[in-house]
Amino acid sequence: MEQWSRAKLCDVMNLFLGAILFFSPWLFSLSPGAPRQTASVIGLLIAVLSIAALAAFAIWEEWLNLIAGLWLIVAPWLLGFQDSNAMTIDAVIGTVVAALAAFEIWLAVDGRQGGPTDGGMAAQSCDQESDRAKVGGTCP
């Protein structure tokens, strides 16, 4: 349950960041051209992927969010932004989106490999406890 809550919280944060990025051309008066287009398109993509992940989680959504975040980090230099506000906004939001997506991917992979959130460690511990239960101990 704790893993589910963390993943959903990350998706809600990404949705919020995507909305800020989408509206950033108007909120922060970004210069026309590539900075506005990048913010609007990638912000909309992040928001849509976050809504999809909130509705029905799939790992590919997080991989696309990771790619979108990494693109936001490098886009100002690759596209030659002249607006320092756009550079800062894209780099900061891109870093946070990429970090949240990487964290969600890690949670999903850890859960599949039988980590503590998937019951793997708890099941191992309970198996050891059940062996003790045979000897007279208890397993909750």
Global pTM reads: 0.76
Look up the domain containing 23 and give its range: 2-113
Q: Residue 111 corresponds to which tokens in the numbers above?
A: 């859960």
One digit per residue, the tens of pLDDT, for the chain of length 140 reads: 455 577 889 999 999 999 999 999 999 999 899 999 999 999 999 999 999 999 988 899 999 999 999 999 999 999 999 989 999 999 999 999 999 999 999 988 887 766 544 444 444 444 555 454 444 555 44
Look at residue 130 and tell me if it is in a domain.
Answer: no
Q: Residue 112 corresponds to which tokens in the numbers above?
A: 């599949």
Look at residue 48 and tell me if it is in a domain.
Answer: yes
Look at residue 63 and tell me if it is in a domain.
Answer: yes
Look at residue 125 and tell me if it is in a domain.
Answer: no
State residue 124's pLDDT score. Answer: 46
Look at residue 75 and tell me if it is in a domain.
Answer: yes
Look at residue 118 and tell me if it is in a domain.
Answer: no
Look at residue 123 and tell me if it is in a domain.
Answer: no
State residue 4's pLDDT score. Answer: 58
Look at residue 135 and tell me if it is in a domain.
Answer: no
* Burial of 100 per CB tally in 10 Å (0-12, 13-18, 19+): buried
State residue 3's pLDDT score. Answer: 54
Please give the tally of structural domains in the chain.
1
